[in-house]
Structure 1
Amino acid sequence: MNEIIFFGYNKYPKLFKNKPNKITKPIQFKFENENENENEKQIKQISSSFFSTIFLFENGKAIEYLSENDSNENPVKIQIEENIQKVTVGNENEAILTIEGNVFAKGININPYNPNEFINISSLIEDTNDRIIEDIVSGSRAIYLLTSNQNVYGIGSNQFGQLGFDSKTLPKTENPILMMKNVSKIFSGNSSKYVFLLNLNQELFVCGNNEYGQLGLGESRKEETKIQKLTKIQNIPKGKIIDIQCGSIYSIMLIEIEDQNQNPKRKLYSCGDYQYNGLGKNDEDTYEFTEIKSSLFENDNILDFSVGNAHTLILTSNSKLIGFGYNEYGVLGTGDTKDQSIPIQIELPKLRFNEEIFNYHISCGFDKSFLYYSPFFFFQS
């Protein structure tokens, strides 16, 4: 049982034969010409960036569409012997987390001598007691690993200090380097040269590219284009941080709070540069996280959301799909290519499993958008 809805840039890689490069209205995605009838297997996760898209199935297998395969437009099975539990794709890297806790990755900043070959980067961690990995996240040029001991390691480019070290003394590393201890969650994005780390005390730290104020450090820090040391964010909204999704020039945070009746309520906050209309509000640049308000979801609970390079999609408990931001390639599914500065509702085709909207999830690639049915999803908490 499978359902995937797609809209956006149908190139790099090309996912649909005989379709235009810009698909501006949501259409159903179907796998074609695969050898083992993958379309009858349950989708678990989709991760996409500019040059590649990976589909992970519940059976622990994954297939990938690559831009260099556009000539035959067929997916390639990822040859990893262990069962895969998560995939993550950045603009210049890919990583796979297996059920056994190993991480295989590839990319020019991971394996410069053979960037198309997956290598076991978790085995390169110097501390042998820290090689079991619980979570992985890709940034644009770096990969972050959360170990079973709640330690975070980074590997790849440190051009903007996104590994938490001075970029002049450590411009990049091909071995995982310890960034921070006592971490509960990692947040970055496929086009982001920065990272947020949430510690076990719900304190939020950040480092990397701050050229557009996307790190949420406030007005006084907006001139610092590089934050090369993990820095605590002082002014964050009160509540439980559920997720942070990172674009190239802005960040969006999902917070859960209790209302007057002690019912949980989720709210969205954004910070960064207003360019490309990515903040979800008719406003100027915002250098601290401030709430995104809209009548479209003020009475609904937010089930899931995702951020691409410069666009955002939101799924609500009232079966609404809402979007805003950059739309040159039709990634908002509105039928046109007009940017949207404030949230708008997106008209969807009839979903086969609409009565189970809680089991639908969103994944935004660099210039792509996916809505997919996945009843077993790790994000919801």
Structure 2
Amino acid sequence: MNEIIFFGSNNYPKLIKNEPNIITKPIQFKFENENENEKQIKQISTSLFSTIFLFKNGKAIEYLNENDSKQNPQKIQIEENIQKVSVGYENETILTKEGNVFAKGKYINKNNPNQFINISSLIEDINDRIIKDIVSGRNSIYLLTRNENLYSFFSGINLVDNNSRKFKKTQKTILMMKNVSKIFSGNTCFSSLFLLNSNQELFSCGFNLNGQLGLGKSIKKIIENPTQIPNIPKGKIIDIKCGYSHSIMLIENENENPKRKLYSCGYYIPNGLGKNENTYEFTEIKSSLFENDDNIIDFSVGRSHTLILTSKFKIN
């Protein structure tokens, strides 16, 4: 059974009932569920208002923030063949094993914000509708197709109004960039996105209010177009997650011990990572907690909390 490391705010949502609202030291807990087939967690996605656990059997359970009228976890079923989930600030996106994308949220369907609709079918090029990856931002959703084309849905980074500095609203899918090999999560109340191009160069765009895009001491608050990130740690980028004001990167080096290391940049709201300072470039997180990062399966960054899913874990 997987174990989960948790630290930070424990009230949006209240994931651990018998613990205080602010957990200042990392603790571990096991996911309790009556269904034995829904105990092996494949992925975690969390944001300000909700957390979704995806299980290996293709089903998912969502926990909403404690002020929501629905106190009990709700099961999410899209033909029970979910490959990936992505929680944004005010939307949720699900990728099925067939390559279809379903999303819900008040900006997607204001009449029924809890209804999932197929947004991959909205791509005009019918040959480009099979999706291999997804990212949810504030009120934007990014779709990476099998043909390595990156689309934005609703309000993409490239739709910023330069006069008002606000996102234009559109219910269309917009081709944003070509030759993209991988995209990384921007689960945040702002809109942020990381991506690798076909040359394995790392780019980021979106809100850089606290240096969370890893672009250095930039004075720009909004990075409208994908911009290459300098001074990336050596190794293979496994994943990047962006939260409210900081980002975490997982790097793998076969010739080092441990092979996997965590790096972070941005501003850490107290208890988000246990410290309160700015880092403008990706810097290794050095802690006894991560002495053996090889066990990390997945992680997610919220507003002021971080979850790390491990195959095994021991707190020294």
The equivalent residue for 1:113 is: 111
Within 5 Å, give how 1:117-156 maps onto structure 2: 117-156=115-154
Whether the 8 Å CA contact 1:61–1:78 is kept in 2: the answer is: yes
Whether the 8 Å CA contact 2:4–2:308 is kept in 1: the answer is: yes
1:199: how far off? 0.5
Of 162, 177, 181, 2:178 maps to 181
The equivalent residue for 1:254 is: 250
**1-structure distance, mates of 2:121, 2:201:** 29
Whether the 8 Å CA contact 2:270–2:304 is kept in 1: the answer is: no
SS at match of 1:253: strand
Within 5 Å, give how 1:253-332 maps onto structure 2: 253-257=249-253, 265-273=259-267, 276=270, 285-289=278-282, 291-292=283-284, 294=286, 296=288, 300=291, 302-303=293-294
The equivalent residue for 2:50 is: 52
Whether the 8 Å CA contact 1:164–1:208 is kept in 2: the answer is: no
The equivalent residue for 1:203 is: 201
**2-structure distance, mates of 1:58, 1:239:** 28
SS at match of 2:240: strand
SS at match of 1:157: coil
Whether the 8 Å CA contact 2:273–2:305 is kept in 1: the answer is: no
1:371: how far off? 4.7
Whether the 8 Å CA contact 1:155–1:174 is kept in 2: the answer is: yes
> What amino acid is the match of 1:11?
N
Deviations 1:215-267 (A, max 9, x none): 23333xx22222112222344344433322223223333344465xx888444
> What amino acid is the match of 1:179?
M
**2-structure distance, mates of 1:212, 1:368:** 16
- The count of corresponding residues between Structure 1 and Structure 2 is 306
Whether the 8 Å CA contact 1:2–1:40 is kept in 2: the answer is: no
Taking structure 1 as reference, are residues 276 and 30 closer, same or farther at Cα in structure 2, changes over 3 Å only?
A: closer
Whether the 8 Å CA contact 1:250–1:279 is kept in 2: the answer is: no
Taking structure 1 as reference, are residues 253 and 364 closer, same or farther at Cα in structure 2, changes over 3 Å only?
A: closer
1:146: how far off? 1.2
The equivalent residue for 1:28 is: 29
If you compute each CA radius of gyration, which structure gives the higher value, 1 or 2? 1
Deviations 1:180-220 (A, max 9, x none): 1111111233224211111010112222112223323333x
Of 67, 74, 77, 1:76 maps to 74
The answer to whether the aligner puts 1:244 opposite 2:240 as a matched pair is yes
Whether the 8 Å CA contact 1:95–1:103 is kept in 2: the answer is: yes
**2-structure distance, mates of 1:360, 1:237:** 20
The equivalent residue for 2:94 is: 96
The equivalent residue for 1:338 is: none
**2-structure distance, mates of 1:205, 1:124:** 26
The equivalent residue for 2:169 is: 172
Whether the 8 Å CA contact 2:64–2:70 is kept in 1: the answer is: no
Taking structure 1 as reference, are residues 292 and 369 closer, same or farther at Cα in structure 2, changes over 3 Å only?
A: closer
Flag structure 1 segments of 5+ consecutive residues without an equivalent.
304-357, 376-381
**1-structure distance, mates of 2:236, 2:162:** 36
SS at match of 2:195: strand
1:69: how far off? 8.3
**1-structure distance, mates of 2:257, 2:274:** 25
SS at match of 1:46: strand
Flag structure 2 segments of 5+ consecutive residues without an equivalent.
none
1:129: how far off? 0.7
**2-structure distance, mates of 1:278, 1:2:** 22
Relative to the length of structure 2, the TM-score reads 0.80
**2-structure distance, mates of 1:94, 1:205:** 24
Identity %: 63
Whether the 8 Å CA contact 1:30–1:39 is kept in 2: the answer is: no
**2-structure distance, mates of 1:265, 1:67:** 36
**2-structure distance, mates of 1:195, 1:24:** 28
Taking structure 1 as reference, are residues 265 and 65 closer, same or farther at Cα in structure 2, changes over 3 Å only?
A: closer
Whether the 8 Å CA contact 2:272–2:304 is kept in 1: the answer is: no
> What amino acid is the match of 1:185?
K
